[in-house]
Each structure stands twice: as structure tokens, then as C-alpha cells.
Structure 1
Amino acid sequence: MLFCYGTLQFDAVLKALLGRIPEQVPAAAPGYRAAALIDRVYPGLVVSAAGGSASGVALTDLSNEEWRIRDAFEDEKYDLCEVALSTGATAWAYIWPGGDVCSEDWDPAAFEARHLSAYAERRTRLAPGLAAGKPKGK
């Protein structure tokens, strides 16, 4: 199971990257927040000093090939770690190691209004190369 708290909460991004919309359930990661990142339109999951919880979805039926595509897609700075969810389950999540984290949380509504269409379009162009095992940007 993969916990998604950022751009992968949007069906258009999932469809562009994976060619389908995986099964998903609403979830949250207590003790974390989806932080805005400097000069990036996507967030990073970081420990929340103020408590709280990062909301998102858990993708429940990713194939091995889809996991490989996901790993190739993510920024190399992320660490894949297991996190506890509010549902009582655990899931893998891409954790941001810090360094360029903003004090404010990432705003999914602002991303949807300003960036989603172009972001999904870029993922559509990137997906065939990732599926073929080519490095991102090649």
C-alpha cells in the first residue's frame, strides 16, 4: 500500500503516469504534514512539530511494475519509508528529508487550479519512458 499526500491524490496524475486509476481509500498520516517545498509544485511529507496529520489516499492495488514506475518517477531526494496511518494500517510513503521545506503546508486546491493540467500533461509524456525503464528526463 502506498500513502499519497500530494500530486498522486489527483486521478489525472495517476492516469497519466500509470495508465489507470488504482483502487484507493482515504487515509491520513498522524504526526506528519504535507509541506510546501521551495521552487517545487509538489509537496514533501515531513514530521510535523505541531502534531496534526497529513491527509491523502492509500493506493491499495499497485502492481510490481507500477511500483517500479513510481520509484523512477519520484524525486531522488525522497526516502521510501513505512508510516502508520489513521486507519490503523501501515503504508509506504515518500518522505522528504528536509532542507528546502517551507513553513506552510502544500495547498492541493491551489495546485489543482494553477498546475494540475500542465503537470498531468508532462506526466503523460514522461510515462512511456519510465515504463520502458529509461531514466527520468531521457
Structure 2
Amino acid sequence: MPRSAPRPGPSRSGRPDGLSAEPEALFVYGTLQFPDVLKALIGRVPGLEPAALAGWRAAALPGRIYPGLVSAAGTVHGVLLSGLTLAEWRILDAFEGPEYDRRPVLLLDGRSAWVYVYSLEAEVGDDDWSSAAFVARHLPAYVERCADWRTRRGRC
């Protein structure tokens, strides 16, 4: 869910802005895997390719239309975003807000990536998030909410 302010405090990886000097990939498993959501947030669709992550699941969050990644037996499927600029990373970090921590992970195919992990695991139930249900019920309105959030936040 969009937030109105960037997350305060130090970077999540201990490096400036939490990233190295080289562009890095981001594994996304929820709303950020949809091109229309990315366009609304960062103004473009970066490189996308299918990817999977073992040992995690995209959990449905009570009362929310977006998921949270939590540790679990199994595999979560999503996409790998590549070619993000530092400004785009900052936008996505602010969008994810304090409920998510950006962490490095190793994907099933051996590539390294960052991923946003849900930090309030105690709030998560047993149901998995459904991307098909999200598209069928929420995607157009969610894209509008993302665009409104981006407008309120201001352009980089």
C-alpha cells in the first residue's frame, strides 16, 4: 500500500542508499510485478523477466490488497526488475514503507537480487496472495492510487 513519506533512518544494507555503485536487480512478487503499477510509480517499465525464490511465500495480508513476503517452505514466483536507477530505488523504498525491509536474496537460478520482505510476520495468516484475484478485482484502482501517491510525493 502506498505511503506518503520516505522511510527515515539508515539504509537497509549499510551501504549508501542500500545499493552498490552498480545497478542491481529487484525480485518482485506482488503489485510491483505489474507494468501499469511500475509506470504509475517510476514512469516506465524496467527490464522484466520471470524469476522464483525458494523458502518464501507471498502471503495475503488481512484487510489489504497487496501481499507480504514471509519465510515459508515453498517457492514464490514473480519477476526480476533490472536497470533501476538510484532515483527509482528511492521511490520504491519510499513506496514500500516501514512495513518492508529490502534484503539480498539468492534466486532459484543462482542470481542475486534484492527483495522487499514483510517485517510484521506476526500479522500474517495462512492464505497466499493471488495475483489473478488482484488483477480481476483491484488493478485499475490500485494503479490510480499509485499515480496519486507519486503525484503527492513529487517528481524526482
Q: Do they superpose with TM above 0.5?
A: yes
Q: Does 1:32 align with 2:61?
A: no
User: Which residue number in structure 1 is paired with residue 66 of structure 2?
Assistant: 42
- Identity within the alignment, %: 50
What TM-score does the superposition give when structure 2 sets the normalisation length?
0.80
User: Which residue number in structure 2 is paired with residue 4 of structure 1?
Assistant: 28
CA distance in 1, matches of 2:126, 2:97: 20
User: Which residue number in structure 2 is paired with residue 101 of structure 1?
Assistant: 124
CA distance in 2, matches of 1:6, 1:102: 16
Q: Is the 8 A contact 1:79 1:96 kept in 2?
A: yes
Where do residues 32-71 of structure 1 align in structure 2 (5 Å cutoff)? 32-48=56-72, 51-71=73-93
CA distance in 1, matches of 2:109, 2:79: 11
- 1:39/1:53 Cα in 2 relative to 1: closer, same or farther (>3 Å)? same
User: Which residue number in structure 1 is paired with residue 152 of structure 2?
Assistant: 129
1:118 to 132, 138, 141: 141
Aligned pairs, number: 131
1:82 to 98, 101, 104: 104
Deviation readout 1:36-92 (Å, 9 max, x if unpaired)? 0111110011111xx210100010110000001001111311111111101211111
**Gaps spanning 5+ residues in structure 2: where?**
1-24
CA distance in 1, matches of 2:154, 2:48: 22
User: Which letter does structure 1 place at the counterpart of 2:98?
Assistant: E
Question: What displacement does 1:24 show?
Answer: 1.2
What TM-score does the superposition give when structure 1 sets the normalisation length?
0.90
User: Which residue number in structure 2 is paired with residue 18 of structure 1?
Assistant: 42
Q: Is the 8 A contact 1:72 1:130 kept in 2?
A: no
DSSP 3-state at the match of 2:69: strand
- 1:65/1:131 Cα in 2 relative to 1: closer, same or farther (>3 Å)? farther
User: Which letter does structure 2 place at the counterpart of 1:103?
Assistant: D
CA distance in 1, matches of 2:31, 2:133: 11
